[in-house]
Amino acid sequence: MNRRTALKCLGGSIATLAMRPLWAAPRAGDDYFIFIHASGGWDVTLWADPRNERAGLIEPASTDNTDIAPLARWKSVALDADTSTFEILAPSNTQQRFGPAIGDLYDLRDRLTIINGLAMNTVSHPDGTTYSATGRHLAGGRAVATSIDVAIANERGAEQLLPAVAVQFPSAFVGERLDRRAIPLRVGSAATLAKSLSRSDAYFDTDDRAAITAVLTGESTQLAKHSVFPEVYERIASQHGAQPKLIGGELERAFRPKQLQDAYPQFDYKARNLGAGSLAAAFAVEAIRRNVVRCVGFALGGLDTHNQNYKQHAHTLQELFDTIATLVHLLDATPHPTRNGDKLADRTHILVFSDFCRTPQINLAGGRDHYPNNSALVISPRFRGGITFGKTDAEQLLPADAKRFADGVRPISPPDLLATFLHAFDIEPRAYLRDGDVVPELLR
């Protein structure tokens, strides 16, 4: 090697190291992802973007419109002569501000990345949900882009037994170039997983089912050879090939609801509003611990409160954030399945979003309607904790300009957050997103 070549190599290596943080060394089997859809549209003034004063359109939560009894972090301050509102939680060590519905998640505030003032440009549940998950609005009622969980499963999880599991989560598999193994496994409840995998021992046993599966795999493979579109049959062949690992065995027993509840008693399965979601959270921990998934998405819902049911909105939010806090504590306490000495929390990344937020004013029925603003929450070692990015205006709660993006000064929007999330894991955002800029301020 002559001197010129040696200098070139040295320079190239230094440049590569400078461009690529050490943590970005990709190892497909190391990271896990949990996506949570707070379904129904949440009131951000109760947690991420707290408001406790009347200003412009804003009518804050108060003892008039909110049932404050179950709220652990509600501390009353006077709003007017007859009514109290809440005191904003303002920790001294961060610039973040929280409302009382943040619940137990407040104790983890140093690890929270809050994004406020997300411009939604929609007040439709399906559209807002799809926009948050895919970065594109619906077209003709259909998702036109791949959702974030499928994109990550496609890049980092196709080799897993269950690359993407979606429990009432708005997953979308769109595109011709995706690995078919990343098609999300969508179910209505975490309990369905065990039921679909369970089998009666009365008629057939494991050997019988293996023989049936072998025939079906052979048939699919043979049809693939003769088909103009072999990939469809190849996909089915690989899915049949996975059945012996799935059916009637240890996984099925581990995913039974009773088993999950016994293994993770920390979750509140009888929570008034979100008990079913707790089972999905327990499933996520168990499936990650067993290294059989890459992405788990689930919904924690019940936030659509247009009427007098708004009185319970803060309580529902508190249950949601308590569930997430429990989830994080469990990830802290669970060893990583493939990295000795690491805990799951070191390599598990959580993104929480909702359809949109709710109106700043209380309507005539005593509730809040849909509003084209939103907040989101990330808990990830790759994201800067203890920060809030983005903002809303003081009187209308509408998204305000956050920074200068490539297309000018504007508020942050879901495609920006999704692009940043993909970029954080060394995935090229443009492979999956038409819009959106990476926001380096959010990343470590």
Least CB distance from residue 303 to other proteins, whole Å? 13
Q: Which is nearer to other proteins, 69 or 228 (CB)?
A: 228
- Which residues in 29-129 belong to E strands, given as ranges? 32-38, 76-78, 84-86, 113-119
193 lies in the binding site for other proteins (CB under 8 A): yes
- Reading the block at residue 258, the tokens are 């009773």
CB of 177 to other proteins, least distance (A): 14
| CA-closest candidate to residue 318, choices 8, 29, 61, 15 | 61
Question: Judged by CB under 8 A, how many residues of this single chain contact other proteins?
Answer: 65
Binding other proteins (rule: CB under 8 A), the pick from 97, 125, 329, 339 is 125
Rounded distance, CA 21 to CA 4, Å?
Answer: 27
Per-residue x/- mask for other proteins, residues 293 to 322, rule CB under 8 A? ------x-x---------------------
Q: Find the helix or strand (DSSP H, E) in which 332 lies.
A: helix 313-333
DSSP code per residue over 7-32: HHHHHHHHHHHHHS-GGG---TTT-E
Binding of residue 173 to other proteins (CB under 8 A):
yes
SS3 label, residue 349: strand
Q: How far is CA 285 from CA 176, 274, 329, 334, in A?
A: 31, 17, 11, 9
Pairing of strands 387-389, 373-379: unpaired
> Cα(212)–Cα(200) distance, rounded to whole angstroms?
15
CA atoms within 13 A on the CB side of 108: 26
Q: Please say whether the beta carbons of 347 and 32 come within 8 A.
A: yes
Q: Which two tokens stand for residue 294?
A: 């890459």
Shortest distance (Å) from residue 352 CB to other proteins:
17
* Closer CB to other proteins, 180 or 384, in the complex: 180
101 vs 299 by CB, closer to other proteins: 299
Q: Would you say 319 and 273 are in contact if contact means Cβ atoms under 8 Å apart?
A: yes
Binding residue for other proteins, selected from 247, 387, 398, 431, defined by CB under 8 A: 247
The CB-of-244 to other proteins minimum distance in angstroms stands at 11
Q: Residue 144 interacts with other proteins (CB under 8 A)?
A: no
Query: Which of 57, 88, 144, 216 touches other proteins (CB under 8 A)?
Result: 216
List 54, 109, 186, 329, residue binding other proteins (CB under 8 A): 186
- Binding other proteins by CB under 8 A: which of 10, 72, 215, 394? 215
Using CB under 8 A as the binding rule, whether residue 88 contacts other proteins is answered as: no
Under rule CB under 8 A, residue 443 binds other proteins: no
Which of 63, 76, 192, 361 is the binder for other proteins (CB under 8 A)? 192
Task: Give the DSSP per-residue string, 115-156.
Answer: EEEEE-----HHHHHHHHHHSS--BTTB--S--HHHHHHHHH
Q: Closest approach of Cβ 252 to other proteins, in Å?
A: 9
Of residues 45, 52, 113, 129, which one binds other proteins by CB under 8 A?
129
Candidate residues 94, 239, 259, 261; the one interacting with other proteins per rule CB under 8 A: 239
Pick from 377, 373, 387: nearest CA to 417? 377
Which positions touch other proteins (CB under 8 A)?
A: 39, 125-126, 129, 141-143, 161-162, 165, 168, 170, 172-173, 180, 183-189, 191-193, 195-205, 207-209, 211-212, 215-216, 218-220, 222-223, 226-229, 231-233, 235-236, 239-240, 242-243, 246-247, 299, 301
